[in-house]
Amino acid sequence: MQETAEKKFDIICIGTALVDSIIKGFDPEPISASGFRAEAGSLNAGGEAVNESVAAAKLGCRTGILCSLGTDAAGDLIETELVKSGVDTSFVIRDPAHQTPVTTMFVEADGSRRSVTNAAHKYNFHPERFRECLADTRAVILGSLFRAPFNDPEVIREIVREAHEQNVLIFADTKLPNFRKLTLAEIADSLPMIDYITPNEDEARYYSGREDPEEMADVFLAYGVRNVLIKLGSKGCLLKNAAGTEYLPAYAIDAVDATGAGDNFLAGFVSEKLNGADDSAALRFANACGAICTTAVGAGTGLRDRAQVRAFITGEEEKNCD
C-alpha cells in the first residue's frame, strides 16, 4: 500500500457481522418424516463488514472493523476468523445482550443461493457512538446501506458526515431491506457525501425503480452520489459518473458458491483505488477478486492474497489471447 504515516488504517469496515451456515446441494426430497440430505454443510464467518474486511486484509490493506458480536460461540467464531486474517479487532463490540446473527444459506449447483434470516438480524448497534475511529483511516466501507445498523437515517447521516469531514473516502455497499425499509429520498441528505455506492443489479432496480442499468445509475447520480458501481453478476459490472460510463464483462468461470462475491469485489476495488489505480484498473482487479471468491464455499475461503489475484488476471488475459 502507499505510505500514509498519519493514518493507522487504510480501510475501516462498519456493519453487519454474522455466521453463514452454508448448506450445499440440498435435496428437497425427504429421507424420513423429518429428515433431509445435502451434499455438504459448513459454518463460515460472514456479513458484509466481515467479508470486506477479511478480503481487504488479505490484499495487504491495514484493515479494521467496527461491528457488534454477542458473547456466544458464533461471535467467537467470527472474531477468531478476523484475527487470523489480520483484521484489527480493536473496535469489535462484544455485547452479552446481543445474539450474534446466524444466516442459513442454501447454495445451488450453479453457485446461486437463497438465505434465511431471523430476528437477531434486526439488531442495531450504534456505530455513530464510535465515529472517532474515522479520523484514523483513509477509507470507510459501509456494509451495508439499508440493513442494520444502516437502516436508520440518523445513523447513516452521522457516520457519513463524520467521514466526509475527515476527508475519508466513503464506499457504501447496499442490501435489499429485511426488517425495516428505507428509500433513497429518506437518506437524500447523506447521499451527496458518498463517493461510491455499489448495489448489485437487484438492489439497484429496487431502489431506483428502473430496469436498465444505466438508468438505474442515473437515479443514484441524481441524488448526488459521485460514482455508481452496479454489480451485474455473470454480466459483469457498470460504473457511471459525471465523466461517463464503463462496462466490464465478468470472467467466465465455474462458480461453486457466490456468497460474498460482491464483498470481495468491493474490497478489491477499494484496495486498488487506495493504491492509486484509476477506475478501469480498479474494476479489473475487483472483477478478479469477485470471481476468485466464487471458486470455493464461503465468502472468505477462495481469496488468498494480492499475488493470487494478479496471477489470475494474467492467466485470464493470456487465455483470451490464445
Each residue of 165-199: pLDDT tens digit? Answer: 999 999 999 999 988 999 999 999 999 999 999 99
Does some domain include residue 292? yes
- Does any domain span residue 5? no
**Model confidence, pTM:** 0.91
Mean pLDDT of 35-55: 93
**Is 4 a member of any domain?**
no
Q: With 0-12 CB in 10 A as exposed, 13-18 as middle and 19+ as buried, what is 249?
A: exposed
Output the domain CATH number for residue 296. 3.40.1190.20
Task: Supply the range of the domain harboring residue 264.
Answer: 12-321
Whether the pLDDT of residue 3 is over 50: the answer is no
Listed residue (117, 134, 125, 192) closest to 155, CA to CA: 125
Please check whether residue 158 lies inside any domain of the structure: yes
Segment 112-140 mean pLDDT: 89
User: What mean pLDDT do residues 82-108 have?
Assistant: 93
- Per-residue pLDDT, 210: 98
In a domain, 108, yes or no: yes
108-147: buried (b, 16+ CB within 10 Å) or exposed (e) per residue? eeebebebeeeebbebebebbeebebbeebbbbbbbbbbb
In a domain, 219, yes or no: yes
Query: What is the model's pLDDT at position 279?
Result: 96
Residue 272 lies in a domain: yes
User: What's the number of domains the chain is made of?
Assistant: 1
